[in-house]
Structure 1
Amino acid sequence: MTHRLRCLATLAKIRERERLDAQTQLIAAQQLQDGKSASLTYATDVLAEERRIATAGNVTMETFRVWFPSGLEKIAYATEEYHNASAATETARLFALETAVRHKATETVFRRLEKERNDSHTRREQAVLDELSLRTRQFIGECL
């Protein structure tokens, strides 16, 4: 293997490691986003339940009015956290895509150069065989 091919093989291994790391980061970001989505759903459900209880007459509307701002605050916080997690997931997704493209490009160049090297080696071997065949025929022709 030539120096250039060895360097490309090493680069391909580095790119593969980057790709795997990016995939791991994407999975972690997606899990965080899922958790934030669940938190937002929970905060929204709590608000709906508190409203239902208040309108059913089990709790006074005054108690609900006192609680309501903190419920909205929790929903606003959960919404912001969810949007931040969504943005982080999208960033991780783009990075994973970028690393996959870089890895594929490196692999493609490596395979192309390796094929060129193998083709060149095959052509040299064929030239040697052709030369040997020609000399053998000439030798046989001289012997006859």
Structure 2
Amino acid sequence: MNPRARALQSLIRLRKTEVDQARAELGRVLAQERAAEMQLAQSRQQLENEQREVTAGRTSMEDFRVWLPAGRAAIERAHRLVFEAQQVTDQARAALTQANAALKAAEAVLARWQEEEREKEARREQNEVDDLSRRVRRVFG
């Protein structure tokens, strides 16, 4: 195999590895984002539960008033974590997109080179046929 073809195929393997790594990273950060969203949902649910307890008379308004700042702080923290996780997810998506683009570019370069090689071979074969045809005409012509 031609050294250039080997180099391009090695580059493609490297790019595929990068795509796999970027895909795995995206999966990891998506899981973190889902966990952050679940934490936010749980914090909001806790606030709703506490409000129901007060409304039902099972918890005093004073206890709710004491708990409320901590509950709101938990919701705010969870909301911030979701926002940060979404940013990390966006970056991971961008990295995957970039890795895919680099892979496609390397594959395109290899395909273009292979096509050029096929064209060169076809021209060589045609030149041989033409040369042979000229010789036959000289001998028999």
Q: Aligned partners of 1:32, 1:105: CA distance in 2, in Å?
A: 31
Residue by residue over 1:28-53, the C-alpha shift from the partner in whole angstroms, topping out at 9 and shown as x without a partner, is 11121111111101110110110121
How far has the Cα of 1:137 moved from its partner? Answer: 3.1
Residue 127, structure 1, aligned to residue 135, structure 2: no
Counting matched residue pairs gives: 141
Of residues 20-29 and 131-140 in structure 1, the stretch that sits farther from structure 2 once superposed is 131-140
Q: How does 1:101-120 map to 2 (within 5 A)?
A: 101-120=101-120
Amino acid at match of 1:13: R
Residue 43, structure 1, aligned to residue 43, structure 2: yes
Q: Aligned partners of 1:137, 1:47: CA distance in 2, in Å?
A: 97
Q: Aligned partners of 2:3, 2:131: CA distance in 1, in Å?
A: 30
Q: Aligned partners of 2:77, 2:138: CA distance in 1, in Å?
A: 91
**TM-score by structure 2 length?**
0.93
Q: Aligned partners of 1:79, 1:131: CA distance in 2, in Å?
A: 77
Q: How does 1:1-144 map to 2 (within 5 A)?
A: 1-141=1-141
How far has the Cα of 1:136 moved from its partner? Answer: 2.3
Q: Name segments (4+ residues, structure 1) moved above 3 Å.
A: none
SS at match of 2:58: coil
How far has the Cα of 1:138 moved from its partner? Answer: 2.6
Amino acid at match of 1:105: A
SS at match of 2:59: coil
Amino acid at match of 2:35: G
How far has the Cα of 1:69 moved from its partner? Answer: 1.5
**TM-score by structure 1 length?**
0.91
Q: Aligned partners of 1:45, 1:140: CA distance in 2, in Å?
A: 97
Q: Aligned partners of 1:136, 1:27: CA distance in 2, in Å?
A: 67
Residue by residue over 1:44-81, the C-alpha shift from the partner in whole angstroms, topping out at 9 and shown as x without a partner, is 01101101211221110011111111111211221121
Structure 2 stretches of 5 or more lacking a match?
A: none
